[in-house]
Structure 1
């Protein structure tokens, strides 16, 4: 099965999002590039609102993440509290 990935613009706000993703996805591999940060994860990547809020120190709407998003690969499942990328079989 292929990895899923998500990539963000490299800026201050996305740094907290990336830290939260790395905390919630133990198998994640970070690729830090000059203008973007890409995270590859085998099988399934989860973004939790609560973890981002801990990192950023304020309330966070997962829709805000899209402002910093460059690209992603995988099927998206989204609720108010979690954003998940996975390949459905």
Structure 2
């Protein structure tokens, strides 16, 4: 059984372009709108591409800006200058010692 990657954002004007970009680049994302927050779930992974967000914003966007609108996440984080993603595909090493 696979786990859902999940991102929860504030539901505000700053988050809307990021949410739109996620929906454009990640087919099958399930959206749960709640008062003040939007929760996005997807089996496997959710990837936020810098270029897709920039298209919606009409300005340069640094993936680090996501931390201003992100409430919580479920999955292993991977981020660089071009993308921000969460997934369960590559779990971190576990020290059993």
Gaps of 5+ in 1: none
Q: Deviations over 1:12-49 (max 9, x none)?
A: 01001000001000010111111100100111110000
Aligned residues: 89
Structure 2 equivalent of residue 15 of structure 1: 16
Structure 2 equivalent of residue 83 of structure 1: 84
Structure 2 equivalent of residue 41 of structure 1: 42
Structure 2 equivalent of residue 60 of structure 1: 61
The TM-score with structure 1 as length reference comes to 0.96
Gaps of 5+ in 2: 92-97
- Give, in whole Å, the separation in 1 of the partners of 2:65 and 2:45: 21
The TM-score with structure 2 as length reference comes to 0.88
Deviation at 1:3, TM superposition (A): 0.6
Structure having the higher helix fraction is: 1
- Give, in whole Å, the separation in 2 of the partners of 1:11 and 1:42: 25
- Give, in whole Å, the separation in 2 of the partners of 1:47 and 1:86: 12
